[in-house]
Each structure stands twice: as structure tokens, then as C-alpha cells.
């Protein structure tokens, strides 16, 4: 089974499975097609995180393929270029970090692939050359982001290339309109023939450096040559008799585990209509995000271990701060004893039991806005995740990985895989993951229904980049959310607001695959907020 946010990507994954490929082969082929069909969300200019359940070794493996800040950009030079701004911009050349996605593709294939590397790129090459019909949901974010980019003064030097590549008719493509990207097909042909290393050395690397320099960025050949991935041990917490897994920082998966661990301190509820559960969920989110703002960063630069933020003592101390009758305005991080030490999601499961949870992103749509025109892709803006506060664990430094929002999810029970899943949407990702997990594991929803139900999104509080919205914040709810729950939340003091825009008020796009260990086979779900589907074989 393959579940992705675009039908052609799901079909590409199915083609790999039909050809005898592994779940990893299928995931990589699907990801390459998504780079063509959702160029505002993902691509070779972005980063990648993944978890892979290997049925042969009966182990869950984690991969961090995120890039680092340019070595030549000092923090002093960055602050001078920002001219007194207190937080990093969302786009522009100062947000450039080394792309890690291609290195991630290569590492995953070397360890778990079965098909030839070159075979994985054929669907993407054909789609890019032939063209495809732009999806309705994808077009909304494409058009919205293009409008924002054209108003970004830091991108004046490179907007001509952006317009030519992603606005070929002088505008974003319309829903259903055919769009081609032969330049990206050229990139994939070179990668297919030469391997993933070709992205970081040679002609492609030179084109990236030129694009960065022309825009005022600092990525160098040395930065690209140093690109590397890390195989990491996933973190874990218990929720309703299941083990929930996430990757450690510099990603934000730990925040979902903290939220779930706090919710686990209360008895389970019968269904999703209990207002008390939703109140505790919102309060747990505030507490976890306060820790996220202070303690999540490149693990080479922090002195608080993720395990300390998940310890039973710490979680119970944080959960005890939740007032069952009142919304909390004070959102401060917890005290931890220091020891001596935009986005696309997809999931795949194969006939042998391997399951993949993969998320890949440019951060905001079209990332930095800097494009590598000869090869048809945009470079990410992950540097905007850095803090500018001196002494903060996530403060910018040359060669450092910024705080990341992308976070694949995975669930096991009794050392068996249960669910590969994830959601997109920046800081909505942990919020959506927790709501979906509760609906599957606690409220009894199937994989599709869990993604269809309306969701809440809390805005406010501190962020890892130094931004801070004090007070209660706002709870945005999608149309159709049960009014009796909303009334009960308002009575507890929560400030509510109806979602007013499908892009700016995005409630996260989810994909999931459940393994049925009793009946055999898989059950898939795909979020109707996106253009995709789950396909079985």
C-alpha cells in the first residue's frame, strides 16, 4: 500500500511494488514524483526525515537527513544583514541551508532498496517531461505562495528565474492545467545515471552555489561536500497500550510524544465528543510547545536530553499544571535537571512487512524562493527556524542544524508494527498527529475516518525561532467541529475562531497505513484536505 498527497505519486509507488521493489523503493519513487507535482512543498532542494520498520531485523530505524547552516555565514554577519530584526525571515537567501533530501534518498536506498537506483526516478522523469494536471489543493498553496514571493524584497535578484520556472504563463497554474518541468527531469536523469553523490559534487553542486551567490546567499561547494545524514534511534512513549515513536530533535516529533504522555496520565475516554479530553489536549499542547521553544535544537548544541523531557517524573509534573476548568495563559518551559551531556508526507508498506514513514519539505511553500533554474527546483528556507537569541540552544551558528518542524510518525505494539503515519503543516504537525492517534487508538476510527474528521489548531505561545505570542492564544477550528465541544472549551476560557482560509488556516494534511495483524493486509487513509489517495495492491 502507498498513501501520498498526489495520485501520480501513489501510482509511482505502486509501480515499484509491482516491480518487486521494497517499501523504501516505493517511497523514494513517490517522493521524486511529488517533487514534480508539488514543487512548492518538497523537492531535492529540501530536507528529509524517515522511519523504516525493517521486518527482517524487526527493528524501527530512524533517519535524519537535514542540512546545516553555511559555514561561511557567521552569526554576526547574519545579524548585521538582518538590520536589527529579532527573528529570522521566512524566505530569502539568509534562510538557505544545505539540502539533505538527496543524501537521505541515497542512504535509504543503500540500506533498504531492492530495485536499481536509476529505476526509482523513471516515473518522475516521465511526469516532468509529459506534464501533469495541477491538483486543486496544490494549486491553492502554489498560487498563495507565488503571490507572497513576488512581494518579498529580499528576492528581487532572483524573481525572474522563479517566474520563468513556476509561473510560466505569468501566474501560477490553474487547477487542472498541465504543467511541465523539463529542467527537473534533467536533474533526475543525471541523478539516475550518476548516483546521489552527483547532487553534492560536480555540475549540480556548481549550479546550486551559483544560485545561492546570485541571490545573496552563502552556500559553498564545501557546504555541499560536507552534507551527511545520521541514522538515529527513535524516541518512544506509551499511549493507550501502544508505543508511539518519533525522531529526536532537531525535529519537533518529541512535542507530540510529550503531549501524548501528558494525556496518558488521565483515564481513556469512550469517544471524541468528551470536551474534557479536548481541553486537556490543548493545555498539553501549550506545555509541550513551551518546552519545544526552549529545549529543541541540533543535538550537538543542547544540554537537555530528550529522554529527560519524557521521564515519568517530568511528565507528571507538567501534566499537574493542567487546570481541568480553565485555559492556561502562562506558557513557560519546564525546569529540567541538566546532566553532564511546507512539506510532503507519504507512507508505504510492502508484502514483506516493511513499512516506511517519510516526510520531506522545503519548509514554507517554495522554501527560500531561490531557485536552481537549470535543474528546475527551489532551495529550502530551513534557516528561518534558527533563533537569534544569544545563548539559546537553537541560536544560529555556522554548520549547525536548525530546529525542524517535519516529523514522521510510527506506532508499534508488542514489538509489531501497527501504524505508519504523519501530517504536514508546520507547527500543526504534532497537533494533527495527536488528534489522529487519539481517534485511531482511543476513539476507534479507521485510517480514513481519522483523517476526515474536523480538527483544532492552537496558535500562540513561544516558538523555537524566538517569536512569542503571549496570552491564551487562539484555537482555530474547522467547519463541522461539534458545537457542544466548542461551547465547553469557550466556557473554560479558550478563545475560538472558525477557520477562514484553507491555506493560511491549514489544519494539516495526513496520510496513514494501518497494519492488520489479525486479518492480514493493510488499511490506508488519505486526507481530503490534499489531492492524494491511498492505493493498495
Q: For position 302, what pLDDT does the model report?
A: 86
Q: How many Å apart are CA 164 and CA 182, to the nearest integer?
A: 12
Q: For position 339, what pLDDT does the model report?
A: 38
Q: Which residues are catalytic?
A: 343
- My answer on whether 254 and 272 are in the same domain is yes
Q: For position 519, what pLDDT does the model report?
A: 85
- My answer on whether 218 and 235 are in the same domain is no
- The set of cell numbers assigned to 223 is 557546504
Q: Which domain holds residue 89?
A: 7-41+70-227+359-385
In a domain, 47, yes or no: no
- My answer on whether 178 and 318 are in the same domain is no
Overall residue count recorded for the chain in this entry:
537
In a domain, 348, yes or no: no
Confidence of residue 336 (pLDDT cuts 50, 70, 90): low
Query: What is the reported pTM?
Result: 0.95
Residues 16-66 have pLDDT tens digits of 999 999 999 999 999 999 999 999 999 999 999 999 999 999 999 999 999
Q: For position 505, what pLDDT does the model report?
A: 66
Confidence of residue 487 (pLDDT cuts 50, 70, 90): very high
Residues 70-83 have pLDDT tens digits of 999 999 999 999 98
What is the tally of structural domains in the chain? Answer: 2
- My answer on whether 433 and 296 are in the same domain is yes
Residues 111-155 have pLDDT tens digits of 999 999 999 999 999 999 999 999 999 999 999 999 999 988 888
Residues 501-530 have pLDDT tens digits of 777 668 889 999 999 988 889 999 999 999
Q: Encode burial over 9-23: b for 16+ CB neighbours within 10 A, e otherwise.
A: bbbbbbbbbeeebbb
- My answer on whether 443 and 364 are in the same domain is no
In a domain, 352, yes or no: no
Q: What percent of the chain has pLDDT over 70?
A: 98
* Three-state secondary-structure class, residue 245: strand
- My answer on whether 150 and 242 are in the same domain is no
What's the CATH code of the domain at 416?
3.60.20.40
- My answer on whether 148 and 273 are in the same domain is no
- My answer on whether 510 and 431 are in the same domain is yes
Cβ distance 157 to 45 under 8 Å? Answer: no
Beta strands 132-133 and 59-65: pairing type? unpaired
Residues 392-430 have pLDDT tens digits of 999 999 999 999 999 999 999 999 999 999 999 999 999
DSSP letters spanning 22-86: -HHHHHHHHHHHHHHH-TTT--TTSEEEEEEEETTTTEEEEEEE-----TT--HHHHHHHHTT-S
State yes or no: pLDDT of 338 exceeds 70: no
Q: How many Å apart are CA 375 and CA 366, to the nearest integer?
A: 15
- My answer on whether 314 and 172 are in the same domain is no
In a domain, 530, yes or no: yes
Mean pLDDT of the chain: 94
Residue with cell 498513501: 3
In a domain, 60, yes or no: no
State yes or no: pLDDT of 247 exceeds 70: yes
Q: For position 504, what pLDDT does the model report?
A: 66
In a domain, 277, yes or no: yes
Residues 279-311 have pLDDT tens digits of 999 999 999 999 999 999 999 998 888 999 999
State yes or no: pLDDT of 341 exceeds 50: no
- My answer on whether 97 and 144 are in the same domain is yes
- My answer on whether 183 and 263 are in the same domain is no
In a domain, 95, yes or no: yes
- My answer on whether 298 and 241 are in the same domain is yes
Q: For position 340, what pLDDT does the model report?
A: 33
State yes or no: pLDDT of 337 exceeds 80: no
State yes or no: pLDDT of 355 exceeds 90: yes
Q: For position 243, what pLDDT does the model report?
A: 98
In a domain, 399, yes or no: no
Amino acid at each position: 500500500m502507498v498513501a501520498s498527497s498526489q495520485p501520480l505519486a501513489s501510482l509511482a509507488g505502486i509501480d515499484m511494488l509491482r516491480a518487486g521493489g521494497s517499501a523504501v523503493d516505493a517511497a523514494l519513487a513517490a517522493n521524486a514524483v511529488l517533487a514534480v507535482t508539488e514543487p512548492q512543498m518538497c523537492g531535492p532542494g529540501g530536507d528529509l526525515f524517515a522511519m523504516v520498520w525493517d521486518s527482517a531485523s524487526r527493528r524501527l530505524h530512524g533517519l535524519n537527513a537535514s542540512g546545516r547552516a553555511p559555514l561561511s555565514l557567521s552569526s554576526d554577519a547574519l545579524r548585521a544583514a538582518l538590520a536589527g530584526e529579532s527573528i529570522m525571515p521566512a524566505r530569502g537567501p539568509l534562510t538557505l541551508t544545505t539540502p539533505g533530501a538527496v543524501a537521505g534518498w541515497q542512504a535509504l536506498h543503500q540500506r533498504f532498496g531492492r530495485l536499481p537506483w536509476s529505476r526509482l526516478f523513471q516515473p518522475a522523469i516521465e511526469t516532468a517531461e509529459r506534464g501533469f494536471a495541477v491538483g486543486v489543493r496544490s494549486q491553492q498553496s502554489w498560487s498563495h505562495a507565488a503571490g507572497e514571493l513576488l512581494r518579498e524584497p529580499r528576492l528581487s535578484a532572483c524573481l525572474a528565474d522563479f517566474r520563468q520556472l513556476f509561473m510560466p504563463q505569468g501566474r501560477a497554474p490553474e487547477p487542472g492545467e498541465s504543467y511541465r518541468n523539463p529542467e527537473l527531469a534533467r536533474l533526475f536523469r543525471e541523478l539516475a545515471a550518476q548516483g546521489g553523490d552527483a547532487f553534492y559534487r560536480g555540475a549540480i553542486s556548481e549550479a546550486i552555489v551559483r544560485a545561492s551567490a546570485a541571490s545573496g546567499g552563502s552556500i559553498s561547494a564545501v557546504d555541499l561536500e560536507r552534507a551527511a545524514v545520521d541514522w538515529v534511534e527513535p524516541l518512544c512513549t506509551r499511549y493507550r497500550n501502544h508505543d508511539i515513536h518519533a525522531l529526536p530533535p532537531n525535529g519537533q516529533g518529541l512535542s507530540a510524544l510529550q503531549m501524548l504522555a501528558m494525556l496518558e496520565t488521565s483515564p481513556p475516554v469512550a469517544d471524541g465528543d468528551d470536551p474534557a479530553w479536548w481541553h486537556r489536549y490543548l493545555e498539553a499542547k501549550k506545555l509541550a510547545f513551551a518546552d519545544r521553544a526552549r529545549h529543541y535544537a541540533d543535538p550537538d548544541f543542547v544540554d537537555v536530553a530528550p529522554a529527560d523531557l519524557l521521564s515519568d517524573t517530568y511528565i507528571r509534573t507538567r501534566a499537574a499544571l493542567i487546570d481541568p476548568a480553565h485555559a492556561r495563559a502562562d506558557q513557560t518551559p519546564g525546569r529540567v535537571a541538566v546532566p553532564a551531556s511546507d512539506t510532503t508526507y507519504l507512507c508505504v508498506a510492502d508484502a514483506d512487512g516493511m513499512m516506511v514513514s517519510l516526510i520531506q519539505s522545503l519548509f514554507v511553500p517554495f522554501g527560500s524562493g531561490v531557485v536552481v533554474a537549470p535543474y528546475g527546483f527551489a532551495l529550502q528556507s530551513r534557516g528561518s527556524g534558527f533563533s537569534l537569541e544569544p545563548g539559546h540552544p537553537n541560536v544560529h551558528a555556522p554548520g549547525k542544524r536548525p530546529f525542524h518542524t517535519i516529523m514522521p510518525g510510527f506506532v508499534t505494539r508488542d514489538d509489531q508494527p501497527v501504524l505508519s503515519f504523519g501530517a504536514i503543516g508546520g507547527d500543526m504537525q504534532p497537533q494533527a498527529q495527536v488528534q489522529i492517534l487519539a481517534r485511531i487508538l482511543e476513539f476507534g476510527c479507521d485510517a480514513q475516518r481519522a483523517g476526515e474528521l474536523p480538527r483544532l489548531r492552537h496558535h500562540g505561545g513561544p516558538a523555537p525561532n524566538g517569536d512569542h505570542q503571549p496570552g491564551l492564544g487562539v484555537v482555530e477550528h474547522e467547519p463541522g467541529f461539534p458545537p457542544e465541544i466548542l461551547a465547553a472549551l469557550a466556557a473554560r476560557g479558550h478563545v475560538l475562531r472558525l477557520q477562514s482560509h484553507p491555506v493560511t488556516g491549514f489544519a494539516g494534511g495526513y496520510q496513514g497505513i494501518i497494519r492488520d495483524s489479525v486479518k492480514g493486509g493493510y488499511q490506508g487513509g488519505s486526507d481530503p484536505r490534499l489531492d492524494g489517495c491511498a492505493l493498495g495492491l
